[in-house]
Amino acid sequence: MTRVRLENVTKIYGRVIAVDNVTFEVESGELFTLLGPSGCGKTTTLRIIAGFEVPEHGRVYFDENDVTYLKPYHRNTAMVFQNYALWPHMTVYDNVAYGLRIRKKVLKLTEEDIKKRVREVLELVKLEGLEDRYPLQLSGGQQQRVALARALVVQPSVLLLDEPLSNLDAKLRIEMREEIKRIQKKLGITTIYVTHDQIEAMSISDRIAVMNKGKLLQYGSPREIYFRPRKLFVADFIGRSNIYVGEVTGVEDKYATVYIEELDSHIKGVMVSDEVKSRKKVSVVIRPETVKLVEKSIGKMENLFKGKIDLAMFMGEKIETRVKIANSSMIIYIPNYMVVSPGEEIVFHIPPENTIVIPEITMED
Amino acid sequence: MPRRTGFRHVSLKDLYIAGLVTALIYYLLAPYIEWTTEILIWVLGIVWAFLLFKSGLDYRRILFSFSMSFLAIIGFIYTFFILVLQIRGIPRALALFLLPLLTVAVLGYFKQNIIPTIKIKRLYKIHVPLKRRIKTTLYKLDPIMWFFLIGGSLVLIVFLITPVLLMLLNAFVVPPYVKDIFYNFERIFRPGSRYVRLTPPPGSSLYRFLPLKGGEKLLVITGVNYGILLNSMINAVVVTSVATVLGIIVAFILARYDFPGRTLFRILAMIPLFVTPFVNAYVIRILFGPYGPISAITDALFGWRIEIKSLAGVALAQIMAFYPIVYLNAYSSFINIDPSMEEQAENLGSKGLKLFLTVTLPLALPGIVAGSILVFIFSLEDLGAPIVFQEPNLMSYQIYSGFTTEYGIVSPELAALGFVMLFLAAMGFLAIRSYVGMRSYAMISRGGRWVIRERRLGPLGLAIVYLVLLPLILFTAMPQIGVILLAFNIIPPTGFSLQWDKATPQYFVRLFSDPAVFRYIRNTLMYATIAVVLATTVAIMIAYSVSRTKMKVITPTLDTLATIPLAIPGLVIALGYYYFFLALPNVFKPIPVIGEPLYKLLFPLSPVSGPNTFQAWIILIIAYSIRKLPFVTRSVYAGFQQVHHALEEAALNLGASRSRVIFGVVMPLIFTYILSGAIVGFIYISTEVSTSITIGGLRDDQAPMTFYMMSQYKGGTATGVQVAAAMGVLLILIQLIAILIIVLVFKQRYAFIGV
Ligand SMILES: Nc1ncnc2c1ncn2[C@@H]1O[C@H](COP(=O)(O)OP(=O)(O)OP(=O)(O)O)[C@@H](O)[C@H]1O
Ligand SMILES: [Mg+2]
C-alpha cells in the first residue's frame, strides 16, 4: 500500500489560487477525506494527486518517490469522477475491463483472467448481470458503482473519489457510503475522498482535512475535528455552533474563562492552543447539543445560563430552540419528548470540556 | 451604475449632441478649410467625448449593449475607410458624428479590460520560477499532443501564413524608378484613379429609360461606377445589409409563427444555398432580362420592360444567393433565445415591435451578424456574378483577370489589391468574431421550461405569408430551379420561355460521354476527396490541440488561425499560392547535394514552369483543404467539446496513453462529427470557384468542374451554357446527397455556416 504526501503544494489558475500551500500526509490503507465548501480547491488537490494538474509550487510524493511530474498514466491511481465519466459507447463490461486491457501485457493477463477479475469486482459492487448494459441504461446509483468497479479492478495503489455520491438521492447516498467504506476496508486501499457533506465525511473517514479558499485549515480524526476545531472556520463549518467573541479573564490548566459582553456572562471552555493566553479577544464555540437542561432551582455553578425561549422548532429527533440571553441569543437542542413554548424560561449548563476557546475572532485569519 | 457628478447626470444623449455638433461644424466649414484645420474639429470631438467620459458617462452602455457595441465596431471600420479614401462631405460628417461614441468606446474598453489586468498583475505577485513554468507546460504535452500541435501549426504556417505574407510582400514590390514603397497602394487609393472615383463619370446614373424597337420603353438598372475599390465596398455593404434584413424577416416568421406549410417554406428557403456557380447568376440575368418574366409583368402593369445589368445585377444575384446564410443563422438564434427572457419583457408590458427591437433582436444579434459577416466576405470575393454580368469594375474581377491575361506573370498592383481585399474581409471578420465571442454567454439558460414561442397567424398574417413571403422565397429559389430547367432545355439559353415539349436529357449525355467534359467531373471528385481527407486530418489535429491545451498565446492563436481562412478571400489565397509556389523551388536550390534534386522535384509546382509541366492539381488540392478547413474544423471541434474531459482523464487515469485515449475513447465517440465535418467540407470544396478558375485556369486539363462552367460562359456558345447547367445540376445532386447523409444518417442538423 502507498502513502501519499503533499508538500507545500500551490496551484494557480490565472488569478485564482485554487490550492494554497497545502501539506498533508495520507497513511497507507487510510480513508482520508478532503472536506470543504464549494470552490475551496478539493477537486484541484485530487487532480494534482492524480496527475491531471501540476502544482506551481511544492511536491507530491507516493511513498518516498517524487511523482510531481509523473504522467497520470504512470501513477497507478484510480479516480472516480464526480460525474462518473463512464464511456457512453462502451458496455459496463468494457468500461470496467478497460484498465485491465491497458495492463494486459504488463500483467500478462489473458481475456479469461480479465473476465474473471471483472466478474469479481462487479460482484463486489453488487452489479452482477449488468455487464452488457450501456451506461445510459443504468440508474445513478448503478452508474456510480460501475465507476467504482472500473477504478477498483486495476487494484490501484491510491483510490481517488471526487464527490462520488453527490448525484444520488439521500437514501442511496447513505447506502452507498456504507458500501464504499466496506469495500475500502476490505481491500485496504489508500483512499482520498472528496466531499462537501460533513456528515458523509464524519461517517466514512479515518481522518478529515478541512479546506477553505485553497488553504488546508486542520486535519485529524472526525472526533478531533468536531470537538477540537482549531480554526473558527472549522468550528463553524462542521456541525452547528454558537460563536461569541469575548475577552479572556482567567486561565487554569487547559481551560480559559472568557467574558462575553453580549451574553453578559463568563464562560469557561477548553483552549485549543496556548495562543489563547496571548490574545486580547478570542472566540468561544458552543455546540447546541452539548447543552444540558437543569432544574431551575439549582444553585450557583459555572457555565450556568438562564434565558427565555424565543423560538422552538420541532425537528423530529430533537427540538431546536433559540434562547434569548441578555442582548443576544443562543441555539440549543433539547430532547424531543419535552414540550416547550416561546416565552418560557429555562436554565441550562454548558459543560466546559465541550466548549472551545479559539484564538481567532474572524474566519479570515 | 452611472456616477453622479456635481453638475448633472450625463447620458448617451450628450454623446449624440457632441457628435451632432462636431459633424455640423465640419459640414458648415468644410468648403473653407484645409486638412490641417480639420484636425482641430476631430480633436474637438475626441476631447468632448473624453470630458463626458471623465464626468461619468456610463461607457458600459456602449460596451455591454448588443447593438451599441455592434455600432461601434462598424463605426470604426467606416471611419477608417472614410479617412483612408479621403472621402469628404456628408459621409465624413457622419464619421465625425460617430467620433465621440467611438472615443468613449475605446476609453471604456481600456478602463474595463486593460487597467484591471494591470492592477491584478500587481496585486497577485506570485512568483513562479521560469523553469517550473516551462516544466508545467511541458508536462501537459504528450508526444502525440506535440505532434498535433506542431503538425497543425506547421501546416497553417506553411500553407496559409507564408503564402499570404508573400502576397503582402509583393504588394510592396515597386518599379525600379519608384522610391516610394507604398506606390502600389497609392495607385489604388488615389482619388480619381480607376479604383476610387468619388465623382462618377458624367451622365452615369443608377437607372435610365431607353427606347426599344416597337415604341416600347426599357428601364435599365445598372448601378453607378464609383471606381473598383469603392464599387466592391459599396456592393458588399449593400448586399450584406439587404441580405441581413431579408434573412431576419424570413427567419423570424419561420421561427416564430405557425401556419400550414411552414416546413415546406423552411426547405424552400434553403434552396439558394445550393451552389451552382455562374449558372445561377446566368438564370437571374435571364429572369431580369428585357424579355424575361419580370419584364413581362412590368410591361403589363406599367408599360415598360426592365433589365438589370452590371453592378446592380451583381448585387441582385449576390443577395439572392447569400441571404439564406443570414436566414439560417438568424433562425437558429431566434429559436435559441430563452423564452423566459421574452416572457419577462412581456410580463413588464412590452409587446410587438417594441419587444422585438428591445429584447429579441438584441439577443439574436450576435448569431445574426455571424452570418452577415460571411455574406460580406462572400460578396467581396464572389466571382460568379461579376463574370456573368460582365462587370469588370470590381476588385474580385480585377484580380481574376489579372491572373489570366498574361500567362504566369501577376503584377504587384494586383497583390496590393489582394491586400486591400484581405484587409477588408479579415478586419470585419475579426471584429465580428470578437463581438460574437464576447457575447456567447448571453444564451445560457438557467433551466426551466423551454418551449419555443410560437404564434398562430391571424388572417392578415396568413395573407402576408402566402402573398408576400411565399413568392419571395420561391423567387429566391428561382436560380436553382432555373438551372435545372436550363439543363433540360426547358428554358432556352437565350430569351425566356418555358418550352416543356422541347425537354431533353442530351446535355447530361454529353457530360458523361464527352471525355473532355467528363474529365472535369472526375477532377472535381478526385480533388475534393483527397482535399477532404487532408483537411479532416489537419482539423482533428488542430481541434484537439485547441480544445485540450490551455497555453497562453499559442492556443488562442491556433484557434484563430484555424478559422481565419473563412475571412481570407479565395482570390487572396490564389494570389498567395501563386507567389508561394513561384518561390518554393528556388528556396531549396542553394542547399548543397539535395538542393538540385529538390528543385527539380518542386519545379513543376511553379506556375511559370510551362503549360505542360505545371502540376496545378497539387496546388488546387492544398488550396482547397486550407480554404475549407474552417468548415471541417468547426464540426470536429464541436465533437471534441461534446466529450467531457473527464471521459479522457478517466482513461489516462487507468493507464492509457494519450494516443490510446484519442483513438480508443474519443474518436469513436465523435465519429459522426468528424464524418459530417468531412462531408460539409466536401460540399464546399466541390463547389469552390476562386482558386479553381485562377490556378486551375493555368492548366485547363487539370481544372475542375467549376472552371469548365466558367469557361463555357466566356466561350459564350449557347450549348455551352446548357452543358454547364447540366453540371450545375450534378453539383446540386452532390450537395443534396451529402446533406441528406448528414441529416438522415448522422442525425445532425445541417448547420451551414457561421463564424
Ligand atoms: N481549470 C480551471 N481554470 C480556472 N480556475 C479553476 C479551474 N479549476 C478550478 N478553478 C478554480 O479553482 C478553485 C478551486 O476549484 P475546485 O474545483 O478545486 O473546487 P472544489 O473544492 O472541488 O469545489 P466543488 O465542491 O464545487 O467541486 C475555484 O475557485 C475554481 O473556480
Ligand atoms: Mg469539485
Q: For position B441, what pLDDT does the model report?
A: 41
Q: Do B655 and A76 touch (CB under 8 A)?
A: yes
Nearest CA to ligand 1 atom 24: A38
Task: Tell me the mean pLDDT in the region B463-478.
Answer: 85
Q: For position B680, what pLDDT does the model report?
A: 83
**Quick check: helix, strand or coil at residue B519?**
helix
Query: Which one, of A281, A276, A234, lies nearest residue A255 by Cα?
Result: A276
Q: Which residue has 404564434 as its cell numbers?
A: B455
pLDDT tens sequence across B329-341: 888 888 777 666 6
Task: Answer whether A72's CB lies under 8 Å from A52's CB.
Answer: yes
Mutation pick from A98, A144, A158 vs chain B, by most beta carbons of B within 10 Å, is A98
CA of A220 from ligand 2 middle (Å) equals 21
For chain A, say whether B132 makes contact (Cβ under 8 Å): yes
Neighbours of ion ligand 2 (CB under 5 A): A 43
CA distance B132 to chain A (A): 7
**Shortest CA distance from B131: residue in chain A:** A56
- Is pLDDT of B753 > 70? no
Least confident of A99-108, B225-234, B478-487, B497-506: B497-506
For chain B, say whether A13 makes contact (Cβ under 8 Å): no
Strands A355-358 and A281-286: antiparallel
Mutation pick from A15, A68, A166 vs chain B, by most beta carbons of B within 10 Å, is A15
CA of A10 from ligand 1 middle (Å) equals 13
Q: Which of residues 548-577 of B touch A (CB under 8 A)?
A: none
The finding on whether A43 has its CB within 6 A of some atom of ligand 1 is: yes
Q: Do B654 and A98 touch (CB under 8 A)?
A: yes
Q: Name which of B135, B142, B646 is nearest A83 (Cβ-Cβ).
A: B646
**Quick check: helix, strand or coil at residue B217?**
strand
Grid coordinates given for B606: 511553379
End-to-end CA distance of chain B: 33
Mutation pick from B131, B645, B653 vs chain A, by most beta carbons of A within 10 Å, is B653
CA distance A236 to chain B (A): 29
pLDDT tens sequence across A216-273: 999 999 999 998 999 999 999 988 899 999 999 988 888 999 999 888 889 999 998 8
* Residues on chain B touching A17 (C-beta within 8 angstroms): 124, 126
Q: What is the C-alpha to C-alpha distance for residues B490 and B501, in angstroms, rounded to an integer?
A: 8
pLDDT band at B38 (very low <50, low <70, confident <90, very high): confident
Pocket probe for ligand 1: among A19, A40, A47, the residue whose CB has the most ligand atoms within 8 Å is A40
In angstroms, what is the C-alpha Rg of chain A? 25
Task: Answer whether A211's CB lies under 8 Å from A42's CB.
Answer: yes
Q: For position B718, what pLDDT does the model report?
A: 67
- Is pLDDT of B673 > 70? yes
CA dihedral (B703, B706, B709, B713) in degrees, to 10, reads: -100
**Shortest CA distance from B132: residue in chain A:** A56
Q: For position B240, what pLDDT does the model report?
A: 92
Q: Name which of A15, A73, A82 is nearest B652 (Cβ-Cβ).
A: A73
CA distance B544 to chain A (A): 17
Nearest CA to ligand 1 atom 8: A44
Q: What is the C-alpha to C-alpha distance for residues B323 and B476, in angstroms, rounded to an integer?
A: 9
Pocket probe for ligand 1: among A43, A52, A161, A198, the residue whose CB has the most ligand atoms within 8 Å is A43
Query: Which one, of A162, A152, A159, A100, lies nearest residue A127 by Cα?
Result: A152
Nearest CA to ligand 1 atom 12: A18
Least confident of A175-179, B150-154, B420-424, B595-599: B595-599
pLDDT tens sequence across A59-83: 999 999 999 998 888 888 999 988 8
Q: Which of residues 634-653 of B touch A (CB under 8 A)?
A: 644, 646-647, 649-653
Grid coordinates given for B117: 489586468
Nearest CA to ligand 1 atom 6: A13
Q: Do B669 and A89 touch (CB under 8 A)?
A: yes
Task: Tell me the mean pLDDT in the region B293-308.
Answer: 82
CA atoms within 13 A on the CB side of A146: 31
CA distance B108 to chain A (A): 22
Contacts of B703 (CB under 8 A, 6+ apart): B520, B523, B616, B692, B693, B696, B697
Q: What is the C-alpha to C-alpha distance for residues B96 and A296, in angstroms, rounded to an integer?
A: 85
CA distance A157 to chain B (A): 12
Pocket probe for ligand 1: among A15, A19, A42, the residue whose CB has the most ligand atoms within 8 Å is A42
Q: Name which of A56, A57, A99 is nearest B654 (Cβ-Cβ).
A: A99
In angstroms, what is the C-alpha Rg of chain B? 28
pLDDT tens sequence across A47-62: 999 988 899 889 999 9
DSSP state string for B538-559: HHHHHHHHHHH---TTHHHHHH
**Quick check: helix, strand or coil at residue B206?**
coil
- Is pLDDT of B405 > 70? no
The finding on whether A257 has its CB within 6 A of some atom of ligand 1 is: no
Q: Which residue has 455520491 as its cell numbers?
A: A165
Q: What is the C-alpha to C-alpha distance for residues B698 and B621, in angstroms, rounded to an integer?
A: 15
3-state secondary structure chain A: CCCEEEEEEEEEECCEEEEEEEEEEECCCCEEEEECCCCCCHHHHHHHHHCCCCCCEEEEEECCEECCCCCHHHCCEEEECCCCCCCCCCCHHHHHHHHHHHHHHHHCCCHHHHHHHHHHHHHHCCCCCCCCCCHHHCCHHHHHHHHHHHHHCCCCCEEEEECCCCCCCHHHHHHHHHHHHHHHHHHCCEEEEEECCHHHHHHHCCEEEEEECCEEEEEECHHHHHHCCCCHHHHHHCCCCEEEEEEEEEEECCEEEEEECCCCEEEEEEECCCHHHHCCEEEEEECHHHCEECCCCCCCCCCEEEEEEEEEEECCCCEEEEEEECCEEEEEEECCCCCCCCCCEEEEECCHHHEEEECCCCCCC
Q: What is the C-alpha to C-alpha distance for residues B395 and B181, in angstroms, rounded to an integer?
A: 21
Q: For position B123, what pLDDT does the model report?
A: 62
Give the residue with greater pLDDT, B205 vs B248.
B248
Grid coordinates given for B382: 464572389
* Atom number, ligand 1, closest to the C-alpha of residue A46: 18
Q: Which contacts of A171-177 are long-range, i.e. CB under 8 A and separated by 24 or more positions?
A: A172/A140, A172/A141, A173/A200, A175/A141, A176/A141, A176/A144, A176/A145, A177/A203, A177/A204
- Is pLDDT of B126 > 70? no
- Is pLDDT of B93 > 60? yes
